[in-house]
Amino acid sequence: MKSRLLWLALALASPAADAALERAELIGVATSVLRIEAPRASGGYSVGSGVAVGNDQVITNCHVTRDAQAITVVRGGVRWPASGQVANAERDLCLLTVPGLVAPVARFGQADSLAIGQMLSALGYTGGLGIQSSDGEVVELHRHDGGTVIQSSNWFSSGASGGGLFDEAGTLVGILTFRLRGGEAHYFAAPVEWVRQLIDSASDPAAVSNPRALPYWQVAADAQPRFLRAALMQRESRWSDLAALAREWLQTATDDAEPWHLLGLALARLERPADARSAFECALHLSPSHRVVRSSLEALRAALPSSASPFVRSPRTAPCPPA
């Protein structure tokens, strides 16, 4: 046991000074994060991560176990075969049944209570080797399918999918799921509320989906949620398209800061600073802790005279919430 803890301490060494968790706390929560091995029926070998979420229960991503001939959970050199899985493939979450598993169960937090800028720690088997940690912060909170998909700056790569995202209290708030190319803060985690729902519905056959189905982030681009389509438009500098998407979004989500933020970003790039400033003001009204919006707004306010023309609302743009 001592050698196992030493190995874990070395793997998690040298956290950042502003890390969400101190080293001792990090080692404690890491014991709930497991390695997943899944040889594929079509050939090849999938390696990912998982989190112990109940007695003999491990949550992971369905894209880790898709087409698996067998699934094995590994902790500290000990191996347990999974006897089955329950899937919500659209959300990319699969709940494994692992008889006899010996692993501490992660404490659940709340993704819907997170704030922009809040510090987080990610734990997973990045590269498929030893467990690794990554410190970062909440970049954006995306409403989707009744939950809050977490976008953070916690770096991870192949092998960490299915790992855990933990808050400062050491509670599980998300499951590391996917990353986008072209940015340093494009890492996404499924909210822990989805995990709770999958556990609660595991005995209901009607709630189970085909684990081979594609998740929301792997379907065709035009079928993806708005926040992913917006990310693609930003990468491709399609600012007019982004403004149109944000206005469409606001037709049904006037109380969501994200489309206001995106509209402000697009209008600023389209050289409409006064309109962009007003959109950013709406976003900041709804999300006062959003540091990116605040810095963008401060820059625009500094560049514009106080008598700048008011925001001209398009007929397709919902009214801004009162300041």
Q: Domain containing 229 — which CATH number?
A: 1.25.40.10
Tokens of 304: 């514009």
**What average pLDDT does the chain have?**
85
Residue with tokens 């912060």: 137
Residue with tokens 């006064």: 274
In-domain check, residue 135? yes
Residue 321 pLDDT more than 70?
Answer: no
Domain identity same for 71 and 23? yes
Q: Report the domain count for the chain.
A: 2
Q: What is the mean pLDDT of residues 178-199?
A: 89
Instruction: Give whichever of 15-24, 27-36, 175-184, 196-205 has the largest mean pLDDT.
Output: 27-36
Domain identity same for 72 and 201? yes
Domain identity same for 260 and 181? no
Instruction: Please give the residue that has the higher pLDDT: either 86 or 311.
Output: 86
Domain identity same for 60 and 149? yes
Residue 99 pLDDT more than 50?
Answer: yes
Residue 8: its pLDDT value, please?
43
Residue 113: its pLDDT value, please?
94
Residue 152: its pLDDT value, please?
95
Q: What is the mean pLDDT of residues 268-285?
A: 92
Residue 183: its pLDDT value, please?
62
Q: What is the mean pLDDT of residues 227-242?
A: 95
**CATH number for 146:** 2.40.10.120
Dihedral of CA 29/26/156/231: which sign? positive
Residue 317: its pLDDT value, please?
44
Residue 100 pLDDT more than 70?
Answer: yes
Q: What is the mean pLDDT of residues 307-313?
A: 45
- Confidence class of residue 205 from pLDDT cuts 50, 70 and 90? low
Q: Which of 208, 229, 256 is the last residue of a domain?
A: 208
- Confidence class of residue 9 from pLDDT cuts 50, 70 and 90? very low
Residue 13: its pLDDT value, please?
40
In-domain check, residue 214? no
Residue 295: its pLDDT value, please?
87
Q: Burial of 6 by CB count in 10 Å (0-12 exposed, 13-18 middle, 19+ buried)?
A: exposed
Q: What is the mean pLDDT of residues 134-161?
A: 93
Instruction: Give whichever of 156-160, 259-263, 283-287, 305-309 has the largest mean pLDDT.
Output: 259-263
In-domain check, residue 316? no
Least confident of 111-125, 163-177, 218-232, 305-319: 305-319
In-domain check, residue 171? yes
3 state SS of 94: strand
Domain identity same for 127 and 196? yes
In-domain check, residue 291? yes
Domain identity same for 161 and 267? no
Residue 240 pLDDT more than 90?
Answer: yes
Domain identity same for 243 and 298? yes
Give Cβ neighbours of residue 62 (< 8 Å, ≥ 6 apart): 87, 88, 89, 92, 93, 94, 211, 213, 215
Instruction: Please give the residue that has the higher pLDDT: either 143 or 312.
Output: 143
Residue 213 pLDDT more than 80?
Answer: yes
Tell me the percentage of the chain whose pLDDT exceeds 90: 63
Domain boundaries, position 182: 1-208
In-domain check, residue 245? yes
In-domain check, residue 189? yes
Cα–Cα dist 211/63, whole Å: 8
Annotate 106-137 with DSSP letters as a single string: PPB--GGG--TT-EEEEEE-GGGSS-EEEEEE
Residue 254: its pLDDT value, please?
86
Domain identity same for 175 and 291? no
Cα angle for residues 208, 231, 173 (degrees, 5° grid): 50
Residue with tokens 């329950």: 86
Q: What is the mean pLDDT of residues 169-187?
A: 87
Q: At what angle do helices 257-269 and 239-250 cross, to 10 degrees?
A: 150
Cα–Cα dist 238/273, whole Å: 17
Domain identity same for 34 and 10? yes
Q: Which of 178, 208, 238 is the last residue of a domain?
A: 208
Residue 209: its pLDDT value, please?
61
Q: What is the mean pLDDT of residues 189-218?
A: 84
In-domain check, residue 315? no
Query: 20: part of which helix (H) or strand (E)?
Result: none
Tokens of 15: 């956290």
Residue 310 pLDDT more than 60?
Answer: no
Residue in 112, 123, 115 with CA at minimum distance from that of residue 166: 123
Least confident of 124-138, 225-239, 270-284: 124-138
Domain identity same for 185 and 283? no
Domain identity same for 140 and 249? no
Q: What is the pLDDT of residues 22-78, one digit of tens each?
A: 777 888 899 999 999 999 888 888 999 999 999 999 999 999 999 889 999 999 889
Tokens of 243: 């403004």
Q: Which of 149, 175, 208 is the last residue of a domain?
A: 208
Domain identity same for 135 and 187? yes
Residue 208 pLDDT more than 70?
Answer: no
Tokens of 156: 């991870």
